Chains A and B, each alone.
Chain A
Amino acid sequence: MSPDSGTNVVWLGSPGFPEAAHTALGDPQLRRNLRKATTTIRDKRLAVTGELDDWEQLREAGAATKRHTLRHLDRYLLRLEDSVTKAGGVVHWAADAAGANRIVTELVRATSAHEVVKVKSMATQEIGLNEALEQAGIRAYETDLAELIVQLGDDRPSHILVPAIHRNRAEIREIFQREMGAWGRPAPDGLTDEPRALAEAARLHLRDKFLRAKVAVSGANFAIAETGTVGVVESEGNGRMCLTLPETLITVMGIEKVLPLWQDLEVFLQLLPRSSTGERMNPYTSTWRGVTPGDGPQAFHLVLLDNGRTATLADTVGRQALACIRCSACLNVCPVYERTGGHAYGSVYPGPIGAILTPQLVGVEHAATLPFASTLCGACYDACPVKINIPEVLTHLRAEVVEAKRAKRRVPGAEALAMKAATAVLASPRRLSVAQKAAALGGRLVSCKDVIGPLPGPLHAWTDARDTPAPPTESFRAWWQRTHPTGADS
């Protein structure tokens, strides 16, 4: 892993997950927005995945293709480089965020442009490209409606697919009225919070930028090694504007996004829209190969980004996170995400996939609370279109977090001591029996009418919200031994 790998994936200064979630949990408006949005998308997804007889086979095919591709990633990436180059594009290799930002900045500078329009892209968010361009005096305009809302609000995205899921329309109207003028065409007078009016305001604001921009920056949903085709899947058509109008197109893509064959799209173009927006087909699918004289951008650059992916690939359990197609179905079904929203994860990748991807990209010690931000309920695994076993990776990463702490501390922490003590008791039936008698006695001392109420000390996290029955005076094993006195165990 290079020293800069995974930089910008986590937001500096973010507290751990439990602390960050505290604010979100106490915000009724946010809770309402999230509940409504996630349950709506969840139901739509269930309807359109349920109508396909071969949905499970499609998931299996998607998982198998990703498994195969990741296993031979080196080969497919070289093939992709070759086919993109032959089609008139230029391929750049970026080991980390700083490298990718440097490449993109230099490419933009070479065009003498001072602004770029952007297609919604997780990869460029991951590397903090907008901020890097800003430092080089280049302004990046987000053109996806939700990303525009986030950018104008000086905010952070809280969802992979719908980054402004935490905002309602009244808040969006207020942001548009306050900020649009500073970024370009101001919001129309008398703007209401009707969705149609808000969309029209964004359309007018963005139209100026599309017609003026010389350079566009995009991410990619996939790139085909066989043909050199790169593709973006979207809903609004704003991406299509960016991909076709400017003279220069720069695409930043994680190396795991490559697919072997054009034919593989048959599977992924079914899996992705049904899992992400709950649509049978997304409204806009743009694909391009290198450059075509007289049609679209006349310069095309593909920046292939590692940024911690090769290190992730080396982990035989964790590598399945690289199969992710960024549909966000796991966010929408996650009971934890539904209640905290995305900001609590402190990373550009929130939700269950973020909880397994972020710690791997940045190293578990820099995102130690994320693998624990789950009840292991398994809803994410069931929803994942490429069958990433998220609970399996979560427990795997939990073990890594514990090992990392063990290696760092000379004296074990309270939790490690408790776990060690638990093993000592539980490894012996006799010690367990003694502990049960002690628990029954202790329980009786702190309980009132056989119910344990709020307690001080470390157990308050449990007893603050829940009563607990006092342990019974006779454990099962004690009862068994009393009622089955002859023979050792029957």
Chain B
Amino acid sequence: MRIALFITCFNDTMFPETGKAVVTVLERLGHTVEFPLAQTCCGQMHFNTGYRPEALPLVRGFAKAFADYDAIVTPSASCAGMVRENHPLLAQQYGDAALRAAVAEGAPRVHEFTELLVDVLGVTDVGAYFPHRVTYHPTCHSLRGLRLGDKPLALLRAVRGIDLVELPAVDSCCGFGGTFALKNAEISTAMLGDKMRNVVSTGADVVCAADNSCLMHIGGGLSRLRTGIGTLHLAEILASTQGDAR
């Protein structure tokens, strides 16, 4: 199976360690990961902010960059959702027949990282070791978009040494919402405050999630308040082993 990594523009620029972790885990499981250098961005920010025509070149670019792979894995639930749900919609609305066909063919092959592990590869124990108290925040796109259910938790539960604690009000949005955080900054902050209150109450050392964008928002608040609680993409926990100094 040819697996391509779609790193996402955000992780590429801000959180390269998450991409390296995805590669580490998949290679540990005996797979080869390829990285099509032509990839850039799925256009989620444009689409969600109302700039649909501006997203179209990105839809086109994605379809071209990932045309030749059996599975496309991405460490972002929201970008996976964008490609699977909204690329077909944009291709329908603005694209030509060739683009519509390419998107219809390619979009279903996109898997969020935990989907690939659990649904496609049938693995929950990836041989990880992470001796810390961790709480998991299901991002809205994981929970209600992709319906990841307990796949992330099944993977986390199999991690050696982990002390996994449940987050209160686990299904409430953290308040990030992409450009919502800028357009409605005060409401975003109010929601962040409640999310942080719940995170702090768990006594966790680390909050993890399937999306670094929500984590950058939550982590940004936790850092500003000097809570000492860190954020880490789930893939980076799954990549950790006994030998790591973490």
Contacts and interface: CB of A to CB of B under 8 A. Distances in A.
B117 to A, nearest CB: 20
A436 B140 contact: no
A182 interface: no
Interface string A476-490: 110111001000111
Contact of A466 (B45, B50, B52, B220): B220
A471 B184 contact: no
A481 B40 CA distance: 15
B198 interface: no
Interface stretch (A59-67, A139-147, A417-425): A417-425
Given A378-B144, A476-B11, A399 B52 contact: yes
A372 B187 contact: no
A400 B51 CA distance: 9
B14 A426 contact: no
Contacts of B180: 372, 374-376
Most chain B C-beta atoms within 10 Å of own C-beta, residue among A379, A399, A428, A432: A399
18 contacts: A17-B184, A21-B186, A25-B186, A335-B175, A375-B140, A376-B48, A379-B144, A401-B50, A402-B51, A426-B9, A432-B13, A461-B181, A462-B185, A464-B189, A465-B185, A476-B7, A477-B12, A489-B37
Contacts of B173: 335, 375, 377, 379
Given A476-B20, A484-B35, A489-B37, A465 B52 contact: no
B41 interface: yes
A382 interface: yes
Interface in A1-39: 17-18, 21-22, 25
Given A378-B145, A423-B58, A428 B40 contact: yes
Given A427-B58, A427-B61, A465-B220, A436 B184 contact: no
A372 B183 contact: yes
Given A373-B184, A375-B188, A439-B13, 20 more contacts: A18-B184, A25-B190, A339-B187, A374-B180, A375-B176, A377-B173, A399-B52, A401-B50, A423-B58, A427-B57, A429-B39, A432-B12, A435-B13, A461-B185, A465-B185, A466-B224, A467-B219, A472-B15, A475-B13, A484-B35
Interface of A: 17-18, 21-22, 25, 335-336, 339-340, 369, 371-379, 381-382, 395, 398-403, 415-416, 419-420, 422-423, 426-429, 432, 435-436, 439, 451, 453, 458, 461-462, 464-469, 471-472, 474-477, 479-481, 484, 488-490
A464 B185 contact: yes
B49 A21 contact: no
B16 interface: yes
Nearest to B176: A375
Contacts of A489: 34-38
Contact of A475 (B16, B181, B217): B16
Nearest 6 interchain pairs by C-beta: A466-B220, A375-B177, A398-B50, A402-B50, A378-B144, A377-B173
Contacts of A369: 183
B187 A419 contact: no
A17 B188 CA distance: 13
Contacts of A477: 7, 12, 35, 37
A481 B12 CA distance: 12
Contact of A490 (B14, B34, B189): B34
Nearest to A439: B13
Contact of B35 (A372, A426, A461, A490): A490
B182 interface: yes
Interface in B1-42: 7, 9, 11-17, 19-20, 32, 34-41
A415 to B, nearest CB: 8
B33 to A, nearest CB: 8
A25 B187 contact: yes
Interface in B95-150: 140, 143-145
B46 A422 contact: yes
Most chain B C-beta atoms within 10 Å of own C-beta, residue among A336, A377, A403, A426: A377
Contact of B58 (A426, A462, A464): A426
A466 B45 CA distance: 20
B171 interface: yes
A429 B35 contact: no
A379 B40 contact: no
A255 B238 CA distance: 55
B242 interface: no
A395 B50 contact: yes
A372 B184 contact: yes
Most chain A C-beta atoms within 10 Å of own C-beta, residue among B51, B57, B216: B51
B73 interface: no
B9 to A, nearest CB: 6
A470 to B, nearest CB: 9
A386 B111 CA distance: 29
Contacts of B184: 17-18, 21, 336, 372-373
